[in-house]
């Protein structure tokens, strides 16, 4: 009797719980009455029907083009860094590498009176992927005591390798491995089309990760080296073997031979650049979602295990502009990254808030500011380019900027993109400048203990 009463009581309690949960769920759902009210939002006015008809067979971007802004903007710039030639990363995520090498390329062309010249992006890519493989495998060893469900372990396994990155990859890799001219290690199909290679490497690295987590500590270190040997072999098959030594003939911009000599990658860098990259550049950010005048470091956001994490100073946008202007006036290009997909007219090569009028097309407004877009994952840095020009008005205030892109010479304005100063405010995020252009009071902030951010922070996805 007591057992039956207990069962009846428990059943009643369960039914009450289910009914309560259903009521709560129903209260947050779309019921028939709410749906009827929602339906009244479309009234079939002529403008609504016109938008609906147009959207049925055209892209949103094509219909949102602002016809009042189609005229090409003025292409004059008051201050410009001399450059020569446009690079093309093809179907790869190496914008960060092309940008960093283009900053150095502009300097080498200027200082050594060269014509068009490119460093081998493929050479640096090779060692980037090898170092990232080691970074991943060592990260697996460092976290082997944590469960697979730990967020850091999950992050590692979700991102074993890729060809995206940021400036510390440029500085750490070049200081460790040097550079070579493009003729010494040209591009291959796989270097220009990296998706399949990345999938193969990722699959292999995840396989190795499980093995290392199960291996005895005494065996794990030696086994990691064997794994990297296999990764190296795969990379040679895909990208070619990096030269240990090569011959290069230097010509001036008029095509006259200057010299022929043999170099190693390190001696070539020392002969023509010779700069200590890791000490001479400061990484800056404009992120209004976090306090300004503070230093931030992102864990695991590096390319080389024994290299540097991405460490930056967060500054108001006007401080970044002043640093950029000082650098350009001194004919020194800068590493620059932004949310390039927003309001981009690829044909004209302009980044302008007035390029597209989405509000009029849909009869609504999009009022979020930069801080709100960052906090809601609506915007973030996605692409790196080389900042080479600014146009200043009579008061010395910027009107527009120009970046050298790495999408080839036929995309944009002669391979470059022109951005309005208003667009710069809203969608520019990162700048890397030489220390000589950064005010002393800003440099002193680097003495502070940085705020450590996790690798999955949304603002620090790899630039591609």
Kindly tell me the burial class for residue 400, based on how many C-beta atoms sit within 10 Å of its own C-beta (0-12, 13-18, 19 or more): buried
Residues in the chain: 464
Residue 383 a catalytic site member: yes
Q: Catalytic: which of 102, 122, 172, 405? A: 405
Q: Which residues lie below 8 Å from residue 87, measured CB to CB, with a gap of 6+? A: 98, 101, 102, 118, 121, 406, 408
Residue 303 a catalytic site member: no
Find the DSSP H helices in 29-165. 32-39, 46-55, 60-64, 95-112, 121-142, 151-158
Q: Which residues lie below 8 Å from residue 430, measured CB to CB, with a gap of 6+? A: 166, 283, 284, 285, 286, 312, 335, 336, 337, 338, 381, 384
Contact in structure between 414 and 86 (CB atoms under 8 Å): yes
Give CA–CA dist 220/224, Å, rounded.
6
Give CA–CA dist 203/186, Å, rounded.
26
Find the DSSP H helices in 187-263. 189-192, 195-214, 217-239
Q: Catalytic: which of 95, 124, 238, 338? A: 95
The alpha carbon of 377 is separated from its chain's Cα centroid by a whole number of angstroms, namely: 15
Residue 112 a catalytic site member: no
Nearest CA-CA partner of 223 in 134, 126, 130: 134
Is beta strand 344-345 parallel, antiparallel or unpaired with respect to 310-314?
unpaired
SS (H, E, C) 358-418: HHHHHCCCCCCCHHHHHHCCCCCCCEEEEEEEEEECCCCCEEEEEEECCECCCCCECCEEE
Catalytic (active-site) positions: 95, 383, 405
């Amino acid at each position: 009797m007591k057992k039956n009463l207990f069962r009846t009581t428990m059943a009643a309690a369960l039914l009450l719980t289910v009914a309560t949960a259903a009521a709560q769920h129903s209260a947050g759902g779309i019921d028939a009455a709410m749906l009827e009210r929602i339906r009244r939002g479309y009234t079939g006015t002529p403008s609504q029907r016109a938008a609906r008809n147009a959207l049925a067979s055209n892209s949103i971007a094509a219909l949102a083009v602002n016809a009042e802004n189609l005229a090409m903007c003025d292409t004059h710039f008051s201050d410009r860094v001399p450059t020569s030639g446009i690079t093309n990363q093809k179907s790869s995520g190496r914008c960060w590498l092309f940008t960093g090498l283009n900053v150095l390329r502009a300097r080498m062309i200027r200082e050594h009176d060269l014509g068009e010249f490119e460093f081998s992006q493929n050479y640096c890519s090779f060692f980037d992927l090898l170092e990232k493989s080691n970074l991943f495998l060592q990260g697996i060893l460092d976290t082997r005591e944590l469960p697979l469900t730990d967020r850091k372990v999950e992050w590692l396994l979700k991102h074993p390798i890729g060809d995206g990155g940021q400036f510390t990859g440029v500085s750490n890799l070049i200081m460790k491995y040097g550079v070579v001219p493009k003729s010494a290690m040209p591009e291959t199909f796989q270097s220009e089309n990296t998706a399949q290679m990345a999938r193969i490497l990722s699959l292999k690295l995840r396989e190795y990760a499980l093995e290392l987590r199960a291996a005895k500590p005494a065996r794990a270190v030696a086994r990691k080296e064997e794994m990297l040997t296999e990764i190296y072999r795969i990379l040679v098959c895909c990208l070619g073997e990096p030269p240990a030594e090569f011959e290069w003939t230097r010509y001036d911009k008029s095509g006259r031979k200057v010299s022929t000599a043999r170099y190693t990658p390190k001696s070539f860098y020392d002969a023509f650049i010779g700069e200590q990259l890791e000490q001479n550049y400061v990484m800056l950010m404009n992120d209004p979602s976090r306090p300004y005048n503070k230093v931030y470091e992102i864990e695991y956001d590096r390319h080389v295990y024994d290299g540097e994490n991405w460490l930056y100073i967060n500054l108001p946008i006007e401080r970044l502009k002043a640093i950029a202007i000082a650098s350009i006036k001194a004919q020194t290009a800068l590493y620059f990254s932004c949310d390039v997909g927003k309001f981009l007219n690829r044909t004209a090569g302009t980044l302008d808030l007035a390029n597209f009028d989405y509000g009029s097309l849909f009869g609504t407004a999009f009022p979020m500011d930069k801080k709100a877009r960052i906090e809601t994952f609506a915007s973030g840095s996605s692409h790196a380019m080389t900042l080479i020009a600014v146009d200043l008005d009579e008061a010395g205030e910027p009107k527009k900027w120009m970046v050298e892109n790495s999408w080839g010479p036929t995309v944009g304005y002669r391979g470059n993109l022109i951005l309005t100063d208003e667009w710069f405010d809203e969608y520019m995020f990162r700048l890397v400048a030489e220390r000589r252009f950064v005010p002393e009071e800003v440099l002193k902030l680097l003495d502070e203990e940085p705020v450590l951010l996790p690798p999955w922070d949304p603002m620090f996805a790899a630039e591609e």
